[in-house]
Structure 1
Amino acid sequence: MDRRRVWALTGATVALVTAGGVTVAVRASDQRPASVAASPSAVRVVLPGKPGESAAVSDSDHVRAPDGSPYNSIDVTYAQMMIAHHRQAVQMAKLAPERAGSAQLRSLAERIVAGQGPEIAVLQAWLSERGQPENDPDHDHSGMPGMQSAAALAELTSARGADFDHRFVTMMTEHHEGAQQMAADLLRGGSDERLNELANETAVEQMSEIHRMADLGL
């Protein structure tokens, strides 16, 4: 995957470029040992037990992956919701080969599929490694930032040529901006360094794609 690794992590902060061109500084992953008391903002989470064992309840600040790395409920929610978010982007992008009038837009759509498909697999593996479900029935995916309605998707599916191109650029730009908002939320409150890095990469890559779509003038 052709990924621009232009993000930078430091011991204290990480910078995320948002859709408006503003640089927001947020805390890097919390590496506090499990023995340290939970912060006031910690939430209670359920930890699946081994086969035959009961589940346990712990503070989100104290949860650790099998490799010992810390993660919290914000990390889990981000992974679950971003899977659904990416799937919709891939769904939209796969419409382009037979509907787009612009060859450049078809190329960009292919890039989106090639980039976000593997990211879905990474997020699925992250959840599986921690015994977390891919879907949470309490999450309303339709309310996620940038998610497009079923009606809008139906109209996009029916469109062809220049009409499709304009709708696609408008909808995918909103979708990418929503993903950047979700990434910023994760970077402010998540604990998992691996997800921090992935969220930063996602935000930077999608900013690049927003600029590419704007440059198409569609």
Structure 2
Amino acid sequence: MIPKINGRTRYSNSVKKHLRKIKPWQAGAWDKQNNNIKLLKTQLRNQLLILQNSKCAYCGLDFNETSSSELEHIAPKGGLKIPKYLEFTFTPLNLVLACHLCNSPIKKGTFDPVIHYSQNYKECTFKIYHPFFDNPDVHFDYVFSGFGMIVQNKTLKGRDTIDLFDLNSAAHINARGRNKLMDILKAALEETQAEEILTSTSLTSEQIADILKSTTYKKTL
């Protein structure tokens, strides 16, 4: 499910010193191949993998379900030709890990997620779900559809997030359904049995439902 990130990332003193030195941040600063920027990205990635439990900040799927993780700017930094929110290029609260399905430039394109701008990042408001600031339960709900799981919006922000990242693509729906079904099966069966059921091509959804009904649950769902 779509996560809320609790906590925040922090840079080492050497990285902070470098960021102060290169202020104001310019277009292309993120892509510099110097040791400080490489260290910054390593620190971010390692901390975010823990904070996000190795799940995409937008769709909530495990990275190995969809694609590898990518560092993502919520308020976009833009590029050399069309820079955007350069002042937030290295702002920790503006950086998350996303899967390639969600972070594709084709999806975000020229979209500007910022509704109200402030030089103080925490005072900005966003058109889409913000993993650090928003509660996902307020904006999203989920329903099974066959073996898949569809995400539904509860708010306009939820709707715009679903539309922007195409969270109901076939790949998202199928991976989300598999993850949820695995959770349910693990609660009812041994993990190896659950894996066998999900990888079996001979069982229908009705047969899986019968297995669940006839099994004594070991855990509280």
- Name the TM-score class by shorter chain: under 0.3
Structure with the bigger RCO (C-alpha within 8 Å, sep 6+) is 1
Taking structure 1 as the reference length, the TM-score comes to 0.25
Greater helix proportion: 1
Higher gyration radius (CA): 2
